[in-house]
Chain A
Amino acid sequence: MTLILSVFQAVLIAGFAPAVSWFIKKMKAVSQNRVGPRFFQVYFDLIKLFRKGMVISGTASWVFHAAPYVFFGGTIAAALMLPVIWKGALCGFMGDAILFVYLLALGRFFLVLAALDTGTAFGGMGSSREMFLSSLAEPALLLSFFSIGFHTKTLSLTGMMSVLAADSPHRVIFFVSLAFGAVLILAIAESGRIPVDNPATHLELTMVHEAMVLEYSGRYLALLEWGHQIKQLLFLTLLANLFFPWGIPDTFNAVPIVLSLLLYAGKIAVAAWVIGWIEIHFAKLRLFRVPDFLAVAFVLALLSFLGQLMVGRGA
């Protein structure tokens, strides 16, 4: 039962991820008085890409071929560590939040190398910007995890969530709400959303993620796009399950699990709505303003930790 549920969680994350992208796209479309894509369009797009032939640059080497797999594999491995609708995860035992951060870094490492592999100016630009931004995002993410870990006395993601879920709501809100702000900013940065990156344009002044995957087509592009959507959902799940950990069962009865599934969908919808709202109402920041934005995340995480130091650990 545990196993089935854990595998289901992984499938859920992978299957649900395109829907979240659709939700944000649809929100934007509606706000601009457009009709927007149908729900199944995102899935059809992925299926179409998986079936299409590929054109690979003559300059590319094996790094270009390996990158989509490593990126997708690293993201999936990170996803397997995250509790979604119950208090366990398939591979939650194999590591902690630090491993989670570095598994995402592994995928990114290969993706930015692949961007350099084709020898185009676009690839180099996207690669350089992505590393620049993620270098600043990573310490903030680690610090957020440390801040939460300080309260929960564990760094494992499943453990953190269990402790927070058992806490009374006002204590959770009190101790880790500042870290929530930090992780929200990082979720925006890591999933390439406005105001850090603009997923909708192919303009060299603004793009980061799109510039890196410009040379990809067909199956590889599908893997990268899907992986990117999963990564976005991972961060939203972090937001939902670490900061609003209520209603997640640790028993295997059908009713709590189904309720928890609905609740999860609701929480993700709210988090996606927040991201979409920001995307609709803000313009993209200039590239050299983004470090300030990420610095806010760092400071929020630091304040969250500092607050706990001053007031008490709350154990």
Chain B
Amino acid sequence: MGKLVLAQFLFYVLGGLAGFLRRKNPEHSNRIACVSALAAGVSGMFYSAGILLSGKGIALSFRGGVPLCGAVFLEVDALSAFFIFLISFLSVPVSIFALGYNREYFGKKNVPLLGLFYNFFLLSMVLVTMARNIFVFLTAWEIMSLVSYFLVVTEHENPKARRAGLLYFVMTHAGTAFIAGAFWLLFSASGALAFDAFRAHAAMLSPGLKNVVFFCALVGFGTKAGMIPFHIWLPEAHPEAPSPISALMSGAMIKTAIYALLRFIFFFLGPVYFWWGAVLLGFGIFSVLVGILYALMEKDLKRLLAFSSIENIGIILLGIGMGVVLISSRQPIFALFAVAAALYHALNHAAFKGLLFLGAGSVLSGTHTRNIEELGGLIKKMPWTAACFLTGSAAISALPPLNGFVSEWMTLLALFSGVDCEGFGIRFFSVVLASLLGLAGALAATCFVKAFGIAFLGLPRSPRAECAREGSRSMKIGMITLALSCFGLGLAAPVIVPILGKLSGELTTEISGNIPLIHGSFLVFPGGWSQISLPWVFGVMAVSLSVIAAAMTVFAGRVSVKTGPSWDCGMRGLTPRMQYSGTGYSKPIRRIFSFLYQPSRKVEVEDEGYSVLRTAKHFESGIRPLFEETIYRPMAKFALYFSEKAKRIQTGHIQIYLGYIFVTLLALLLFTRVSS
């Protein structure tokens, strides 16, 4: 096991560096980087799956002198192993996809450098989950942020990418400041840098301190996870990165924040408080609804996916928050179920969001646009991409028998289990939250019907879509692998859920016995409310479909099928402009949720002397970016105002600066004098 961990590290480091050996030949260099990331991913999957199955973790200690922290100590316990599995599992198909996708960059970009960043990005994510010491953790966290920043600005000649990169850079460091603050508080309370010490010391923390640490961790990791209202970087940065990187950022990187949040809440902060759960639920439902509502309004395919990631992070937070609420309401078994639902959703989201981003990448490389209003009819030109994107869309819309449905079902039941607790508030809100999650699920279906329907179906809306072509073989293989895993993760639920239940049991409870979460092929809710079996659903649907098809041929015989034009209302021929556009598709939603969107439209009309012969010359419509305008713009304004004021003391004269130093020194001397 330990050897596989080292092998993974070596593949990442050597694979990242070896690309430079063949820097003259980008094809070779790209192949080296991707294949080594693939190999590292496979070894990561092996050992993490082994740890999850056996329950025995591994510890690695590297002797040596890293200043301030001594020997580097890494450990893989069940929680880390789960997230390493998630990262490695996603990195395999993404690396296969990148083999073909990165051809875009040959001759335009420094391919070996891209390969280095790619491998180090994966390595840093794995390290984040293994770190058992403040310094190692923060270093890995920072490498992850920096490397992903460089990956976001890969297309730095595009000013939008630079702007997105800067925003990401600023936001992620603001988040890191909060994380460092949380760690500093833990350090000052326990006097140690190691995670083990925090855990041992957890029960002795004062409630006030625990609350502050929780708040800092929530803001810090919430920023990384894209929790609303700290999300504004996410829909900017994820789309600008190359598509395989977008897939990793949305599928895996934001999950590292979930990992860290879980470790903080359940390991470092000991017995949890009820109100933490309430806060997590509040942020969760807010992220779910606002995320999907903004996704609905997007016409940029990758931005749409990024907003939907915010929604899914919200669903994961709902699971965790309900877990915390249930623990403090003394329902440990339901809490276990809730956290298992969150973990399952994290894994499923990695699969289907990775798939959708790869699909969007395939569309981008086939048509060179992300704007769905310019697409259409791609299902004929790119059949494989279309089939995979459709699978991903169905999975993210929580349709049975795909994987999204299982975790959504678990989350719904976990929320609903709140009715068994004491207290009016929790009983009432748990059901309201469950139905709001149902609303978000239905809106997600609308959003992805729009994304798939407008981009892939109908007539091509632009020459770009007309000339689209399918991606290379490796891109297809990458997408198909993930599409199959969307089916697999759903149908294999009876295998996966007990593993997650065990892991979640370690987090939430001291109960070590077996909680019956499955019964044969059935997933059983421990409260006995309900059970479900996706293999059965799949079987019943398959049987009923074949019975229908057979009955039709037997009883009604074969019928003639002719091809004709679509109904054009008697006009002569349909043009692509007559189809519904993406904006038009979501117009009803924009209208009824106008309190959130605050849509604006501007029509400039010109009449050529005759008021009856008006021709609209210019039409503009948009929605107001609420969070940017109400929270971030004032903050930026304040920062600018403050720096403007601070400029006054910056005169540029060396004498003045020496004077400042002298005054400071005097003040310090006086201060030490007085205090001693």
Contacts and interface: CB of A to CB of B under 8 A. Distances in A.
Contacts of B397: 105, 109
A149 interface: yes
A218 B559 contact: yes
A99 B559 contact: no
A125 B579 CA distance: 9
A119 interface: yes
A44 to B, nearest CB: 13
A128 B587 contact: yes
Interface string A69-101: 110111011001000000000010111101101
Nearest to A288: B591
A106 B541 CA distance: 11
Given A69-B545, A112-B453, A120 B537 contact: no
A306 interface: yes
A50 interface: yes
A91 B471 CA distance: 42
A162 interface: no
A97 B669 CA distance: 73
Nearest to A101: B438
A306 B428 contact: yes
Contacts of B544: 73, 76-77, 80
Which of B449, B556, B579 counts the most chain A CB atoms within 10 A? B449
B409 A53 contact: no
Interface residue range, chain B: 35 or more
A53 B588 contact: no
Which of B443, B557, B580, B589 counts the most chain A CB atoms within 10 A? B580
Interface string B563-587: 1111110000010101110001111
A56 B561 contact: yes
B532 interface: yes
B458 A73 contact: no
A137 B529 CA distance: 23
A106 B399 contact: yes
B416 interface: yes
Interface residue range, chain A: 35 or more
Contacts of A55: 561-564
Interface string A100-141: 011101101100110011111111110111011011111110
Contacts of B528: 153-154
Which of A57, A80, A102, A125 counts the most chain B CB atoms within 10 A? A102
B457 A146 contact: no
B379 interface: yes
Given A96-B532, A99-B532, A156-B530, A58 B556 contact: no
B530 A116 contact: no
Contact of B379 (A61, A73, A291): A61
A63 B390 contact: yes
A83 B356 CA distance: 38
B424 interface: yes
A188 to B, nearest CB: 18
Contact of A119 (B413, B548, B566): B566
B566 A73 contact: no
A94 B545 CA distance: 17
A265 B233 CA distance: 58
B650 interface: no
A302 B433 CA distance: 12
A109 B588 contact: no
A50 B445 CA distance: 31
A288 B593 CA distance: 12
Given A63-B457, A76-B544, A215-B566, 19 more contacts: A55-B563, A57-B567, A58-B565, A59-B377, A73-B544, A93-B533, A98-B409, A98-B413, A101-B438, A116-B453, A116-B458, A118-B458, A124-B579, A128-B584, A131-B446, A155-B413, A214-B567, A298-B435, A305-B428
10 contacts: A55-B564, A58-B565, A95-B532, A109-B445, A116-B457, A128-B588, A139-B439, A142-B438, A154-B529, A214-B567
